[in-house]
Structure 1
Amino acid sequence: MKNEIVNKHDATFKEVFSQKRIAKDFIENNIPKEALDIMDMDTLELQKDTFINKELQENFSDLIYRVKINNKDAYISFLIEHKSYKDKLAIFQLNKYILESWMTIIQKENKEELPIIVPMLIYHGKEKWNIRTDIRDMIPGFCQLPEFFRERVPVFKHDFFNIGEYEENDFQKLTRLTAMMLKAFKYSFEEDLEVVLKNFLLALEEVQKEESFETIIYYGEIYLRYIELTNGDVMEEDIRNEIIKLDGKGAVTMSILERRELLGMEKGLQEGIEKGLQEGMQKRNIEIAKNLIKEGLEVDLIVKTTGLSKSEVEELREQLNN
């Protein structure tokens, strides 16, 4: 069984990277141009299935996108590393994942052709992680071997991203929104709560230059909730104190806190007053949902954010499309 802290990181990572715009931004900034040139990123689509079996669940979890490469189905697989220590077997575990993915596709879909699977291994733990990403590097003198031998060594290669070691220039190539959410993972193990909160508040201010208020509220709430999950001692008073230190910044965070207070007040009011507030909140949530639909967010995440039912969100989307 995965421990509680792994589940917290896992759930937040999947919530963030299941947003197509975040995944697309990350892919486009971490795959070479010659590869992107034959990828149809407009076909990028989140898959509900997973290739992880029970044996590999302790090592990774995955989030899979289908995409067309040279007009053929292919997969981009975001693999989240659960370990916090160097493991020499990680490269073999990851490639076992790929082999079993192909076996699943062949068996389930009864196909004889294999799709390309691009594994992107993401890690953000405290410990330095310098595992090999190409199994051929483990064979001494591989490049000097005759072609006969080189052709018989399987190409087990993957891309590795240590978010914990990202520098500011690594974030700058991404959109401000993607950078903000990756910073949530980078600073999740930071022991100084003041540093964590300061980076959160400043990142949220930066995002205002590119995003709508509704989008900022949505992602800001995810970030803030993640801070609370990974820093059990954080209190709203701590956040308010950090806002004061930022000399006029932090207005968006105040909006998130005020929205939370409004939701808390709603629970404690008498039935008649509560009904009036609920109607007001319903109208506001409908407006938020409309804006999130325009931003291209998935229906399930809009439902989670606004509290509207799936049928209500789908009806709103149909109205906007018409």
Structure 2
Amino acid sequence: MAEQPKNPHDAYFRHVMSEATAAAGELRTVLPETAAAHVDWDGMEMQSCSFVPKELRSRYTDVLYRTRWDGRDAFVFMLIEHQSSTDELMAFRMLEYTVAIWNRYLRRHPHARRLPVVIPVVVHCDPRGHRWTAPTELSDLLDVDPGVRSALGECLPRLRFLLDDLGAVDVAALRARKLSVIAKVLFISLKIGPGNARLGHDLLPLEGELRLLV
């Protein structure tokens, strides 16, 4: 049985992103166009995340999809981070998720000699509206001085996750995104909803979109 989200925002995120069309719209938003052109958007299949270590899943709400990248297996996973303080080690968490996905893949394909592409995506929504401040690349977490960093160069692990920082996007820009209606309402609600006693009033400009959901 899937672990239940711990708050309504998590449940809403998982519910919406469990629809492949909604997830595809968000991924098209954050992926570079040149990369998005190689993804089989019609072949996206949601996967269970039960294999991810429990201590990791207890921190976040996550959604995992399997797809094809130029005919080869690929995975995309998204998680939502809406704590009042940025997780400075998020790039390391993404490495843990990625390795867990690879380990399961190898268990299912014991003769594989290559690993599938894994694209990690973090959706950030600080309830106070603050922007993301932590590194998005694993190598930036390593405690080395600039000289050592330069000398080691490509020897350093460089996994980078894609970040959708809602604190850096205004509502007009969110409305302009090419998202499904339910995904658009989700992201706008995540941005303006937490602690907002006037949420009903502030959602009035979305009346047209909301009617489409009825």
TM-score (norm 2): 0.82
**Larger relative contact order (C-alpha < 8 A, sep ≥ 6)?**
2
Amino acid at match of 1:114: L
- For 1:171, the equivalent position in structure 2 comes to 175
Q: Which has the higher helix share?
A: 1
- For 2:125, the equivalent position in structure 1 comes to 124
C-alpha distance in 1 between matches for 2:100 and 2:176: 36
Contact 2:90 2:136 in 1 (8 A): no
Contact 2:78 2:120 in 1 (8 A): yes
- SS of aligned partner of 1:85: coil
Deviation at 1:29, TM superposition (A): 1.8
Deviation at 1:137, TM superposition (A): 3.4
Q: Counterparts of 1:50-65 in structure 2 under 5 Å?
A: 50-65=50-65
Q: Which runs of 5+ in 2 are unaligned?
A: none
- The 1:190–1:45 alpha-carbon spacing in structure 2 relative to 1, beyond 3 Å, is same
- SS of aligned partner of 1:126: coil
C-alpha distance in 2 between matches for 1:107 and 1:121: 26
- SS of aligned partner of 1:68: strand
Q: Counterparts of 1:295-306 in structure 2 under 5 Å?
A: none
Of 130, 136, 139, the residue aligned with 1:136 is: 139
Q: Provide Cα deviations, 1:264-289, integer angstroms capped at 9, x if missing partner.
A: xxxxxxxxxxxxxxxxxxxxxxxxxx
Contact 1:51 1:62 in 2 (8 A): no
C-alpha distance in 1 between matches for 2:147 and 2:188: 38
Identity of aligned residues (%): 22
Deviation at 1:72, TM superposition (A): 0.4
- For 1:199, the equivalent position in structure 2 comes to 202
Deviation at 1:163, TM superposition (A): 2.4
1:185 aligns with 2:190: yes
C-alpha distance in 2 between matches for 1:10 and 1:35: 28
Q: Provide Cα deviations, 1:271-312, integer angstroms capped at 9, x if missing partner.
A: xxxxxxxxxxxxxxxxxxxxxxxxxxxxxxxxxxxxxxxxxx
Amino acid at match of 1:172: A
Deviation at 1:90, TM superposition (A): 2.4
C-alpha distance in 1 between matches for 2:88 and 2:48: 30
- For 1:67, the equivalent position in structure 2 comes to 67
- For 1:45, the equivalent position in structure 2 comes to 45
Deviation at 1:120, TM superposition (A): 0.5
1:155 aligns with 2:161: no
- For 2:114, the equivalent position in structure 1 comes to 113
Structure with max Cα Rg: 1
TM-score (norm 1): 0.57
Q: Counterparts of 1:190-229 in structure 2 under 5 Å?
A: 190-191=195-196, 193-194=197-198, 196-206=199-209, 211=212, 216-217=213-214
C-alpha distance in 1 between matches for 2:76 and 2:147: 28
Structure 1 residue runs of 4 or more that deviate by more than 6 Å after TM superposition: none
Q: Provide Cα deviations, 1:192-219, integer angstroms capped at 9, x if missing partner.
A: x22x1023332132455xx5xxxx21xx
- SS of aligned partner of 2:63: strand
Amino acid at match of 2:71: N
Contact 2:39 2:69 in 1 (8 A): yes
C-alpha distance in 2 between matches for 1:184 and 1:115: 34
C-alpha distance in 2 between matches for 1:175 and 1:94: 25
